Amino acid sequence: MSPESVISETNEIKIFSGSANKRLSKRITDHLMIPLSKITLKRFPDSEIYVKIEENVRGVDTFVVQPLCRPVNENFVELAIVIDALKRASAERVTAVIPYFGYARQDRKTSGREPITAKLIANMLVAAGLDRVLTLDLHSDQIQGFFDIPVDHLTAIPLITNYIKKKNYLNAVVVSPDLGSVKRARKIANMINVPLAILDKVREEPNVVSRMSLLGDVQDKSAIVIDDMIDTGGTIFKAIEAIFKRGAKNIYVYVIHPVFSEPAPENILNLNVSQLVTTDTIFIDKNYDNVKVLSIAPLLADAIKNIHQKKSVSTLFDKHY
């Protein structure tokens, strides 16, 4: 751990954890060499959420780590209540560290009489008293504009790219599993200097992929599939099938957010790939022999430190972890 990662004057900053990913919160504070601040989180018999800040936060720069993962609604309400508790306790600033932003796929109207739920979530967090957001690899970049407060949008691409370079895959090709992931996949392909292939998928309904076509060559190559998340796994499993049919020698899957909704957890156990690599934005409560988890804690810790010390966060975009 480098000395520059340590925050001095720890009485001026406190980091709290919600219930969603306490392990990540502890890794962040360990990296910063400060204790995780004390908070009580309980559920009443009727499932209402009770929160109490167990430390003095008057005039303190506070951060709350809480991905909006399953159970999404409960974790969101808990985050809003913690924000409210901190503001009522006279915290100087409250920053929500949201490694995975739930509802990000509901960022626009695709047909009449639909909500734009991602915007609603942003409005509700600001109404709760939130001052700033620190998040990672939003499903849609434009969600940053849904907030009327500062948003620091980090990416795990350098972390993933650095890991790929260390693996030194032979005759590799980066594959985007859909058109929405092309920008991310092309950036990684350029960083590791390999060609890009693109799968074009057709959906009949949400989370159900009916067919795929491939643009590019994967014959006898090591295919590196890049996506922002695995939810039910429909896209990735169809992509793997399509890539193998077109002659790929090996497949390595890289996703940033391990949402792992059913039936993904069971299918991942039998996933026909050499390795699945993801990050700890969401806590994985099962052990998988074929899954490698990279920690984004150092990246988030450095961002928290820079925000607290009023330094640039963009300098972290190309830093290798």
Phi, psi of 258 (to 5 degrees): -85, 75
The length of the chain, given as a count of residues:
321
Q: Look at residue 227 in the predicted model and tell me its pLDDT.
A: 95
Separation between Cα atoms, residue 61 and residue 309, nearest integer Å: 10
Separation between Cα atoms, residue 217 and residue 223, nearest integer Å: 10
- Closest to 308 measured CA to CA, from 38, 1, 55, 9: 9
Q: Which residues of the chain have pLDDT under 50?
A: 1-3, 5, 10
Q: Look at residue 3 in the predicted model and tell me its pLDDT.
A: 46
Catalytic residue among 14, 119, 201, 305: 201
CATH for 3-156+297-316, among 3.40.50.2020, 3.30.360.10, 3.30.70.20, 3.30.465.10?
A: 3.40.50.2020
Q: 41: which residues sit within 8 A by CB, 6+ positions away?
A: 18, 19, 49, 50, 51, 78, 82
Give the start-to-end residue ranges of the domains of the chain: 3-156+297-316, 157-294
Q: Look at residue 1 in the predicted model and tell me its pLDDT.
A: 46
DSSP character for 264? Answer: H
Q: Which helix (H) or strand (E) holds 18?
A: none
Is 201 assigned a catalytic role?
A: yes
Are the beta carbons of 197 and 176 closer than 8 angstroms?
Answer: yes
Q: Look at residue 202 in the predicted model and tell me its pLDDT.
A: 65
Fold of the domain spanning 157-294: Rossmann fold (3.40.50)
> Model's pTM, two decimal places?
0.93
